[in-house]
Structure 1
Amino acid sequence: MEHLKIRPIQKEDNPFVAEMIRAVLIENNAPKTGTAYEDENLDILYGTYQNEKSVYFVLTDGVKIYGSAGIGSLEGSNEICELQKMYFLQEVRGKGLGSEMIKSCLNFAEEVGYKKCYLETLPTMQAAQKLYKKSGFKYLDTRLGNTGHFSCTTWMLKEF
């Protein structure tokens, strides 16, 4: 586990990242509809994040993908980005790697000029929410944008 590093996604990572994300959602009894599970771009994340205002990172030991997260524009906004598809396998949770991943994502977001970062999560993902709060996110009363993730009913925002 000490050889894990965060790096930008590569095209050959696509199937492994999609498999990892779906496995984490199933493990958490998340609905398959209205979550990342059914996103059209889940199997082609590398291509989805190939623009100057987006990035997608993976946590890997060079062989296996253990986690991932990305930054993308919130639909309809130039100033608000979204922390997207942040998931980690059970075996690497609780080791501070989520904080490192969020820092990598938020540093990128600030560097490219975003003013705020939005996220959606499931109400049952309490450990994730604790991490988001520790990273400066605050709860919102309503969703922003139209992500299609109608099952994710916990919304948070961080201002830079």
Structure 2
Amino acid sequence: MDKITLRPFRAEDAPWLVAQHGALYARDEGFDETFAVLVAEILADFIAAHDPECEAGWIAEVDGRRLGSIFCVRLSGDIAKLRLFLLVPEARGRGLGRRLLETCMAFAKARGYHGMQLWTHESHRAACALYARSGWRLVSSRPVRSFGCDLVEQSWEVAFR
């Protein structure tokens, strides 16, 4: 991977993000179409109402080809939420996930958030290991039926000092 850049999310990235989330999660986890619908709703809300002073999204790309994404949105006055963290398979294992996560966390800290939260599934082992290495802690875990699958839903958080 040559010269990967992180650039701000643009509205025209939304269809790609919805398609990638839908295809990758269907292929890798057996998720049904309701997951892509959720991603589309999250992106539509972000495009329509995000506050650029305290919320941002990034797209990782090389030579104009998108490789991944991450978003920081306001959850409450002093807590941010990490959303839509994705890497295409060919971009994994090269430190790009860590770079995206560090960028998102640094943004949240710089905007005065005291911490962050995220929601994921236990099956995302590489991402969960990255969260743990980056100071996040697992705060809850429960079995659910979502997106046509039996999953173990997890909530993670990190406090900034």
Q: TM-score range by the shorter chain?
A: 0.7 to 0.9
Structure with the larger RCO, 1 or 2 (CA within 8 Å, 6+ apart): 1
1:110 deviates by: 0.6
Query: Retained in 2: the 8 A contact 1:24–1:88?
Result: no
Match of 2:99 in 1: 100
1:152 deviates by: 6.4
1:153 deviates by: 1.1
Query: Retained in 2: the 8 A contact 1:117–1:158?
Result: yes
Could you tell me which amino acid in structure 1 is paired with residue 85 of structure 2? M
Match of 2:119 in 1: 120
Structure 2 unaligned segments of length 5 or more: list them.
none
Q: Distance in 2 between matches of 1:30 and 1:101?
A: 25
Greater strand content: 2
Residue-by-residue CA offset, 1:32-65 (whole Å, 9 max, x unaligned): 4775x32213367544545321100001114221
**Deviation larger for 26-35 or 8-17:** 26-35
Q: Residue 2 in 1 paired to residue 5 in 2?
A: no
Query: Retained in 1: the 8 A contact 2:141–2:152?
Result: no
Q: Are the structure 2 counterparts of residues 152 and 110 from structure 1 closer, same or farther at C-alpha, using a change threshold of 3 Å?
A: farther
Q: Residue 67 in 1 paired to residue 65 in 2?
A: no
Q: Are the structure 2 counterparts of residues 14 and 111 from structure 1 closer, same or farther at C-alpha, using a change threshold of 3 Å?
A: same
1:97 deviates by: 0.4
Query: Retained in 1: the 8 A contact 2:123–2:152?
Result: no
Let me know the Cα RMSD of the aligned residues.
2.5
Q: Are the structure 2 counterparts of residues 49 and 25 from structure 1 closer, same or farther at C-alpha, using a change threshold of 3 Å?
A: farther
What TM-score comes out, normalization by structure 1 length?
Answer: 0.83
Structure 1 unaligned segments of length 5 or more: list them.
none
Larger radius of gyration: 2
1:155 deviates by: 0.9
Sequence identity percentage: 24
Q: Distance in 2 between matches of 1:42 and 1:130?
A: 26
Residue-by-residue CA offset, 1:44-91 (whole Å, 9 max, x unaligned): 7544545321100001114221100000011xx211111101011110
Q: Distance in 2 between matches of 1:44 and 1:15?
A: 14
1:23 deviates by: 2.2
Q: Distance in 2 between matches of 1:87 and 1:123?
A: 15
**Deviation larger for 128-137 or 8-17:** 8-17
1:16 deviates by: 1.6
Q: Distance in 1 between matches of 2:115 and 2:34?
A: 24
Q: Distance in 1 between matches of 2:138 and 2:9?
A: 29
Q: Are the structure 2 counterparts of residues 13 and 107 from structure 1 closer, same or farther at C-alpha, using a change threshold of 3 Å?
A: same
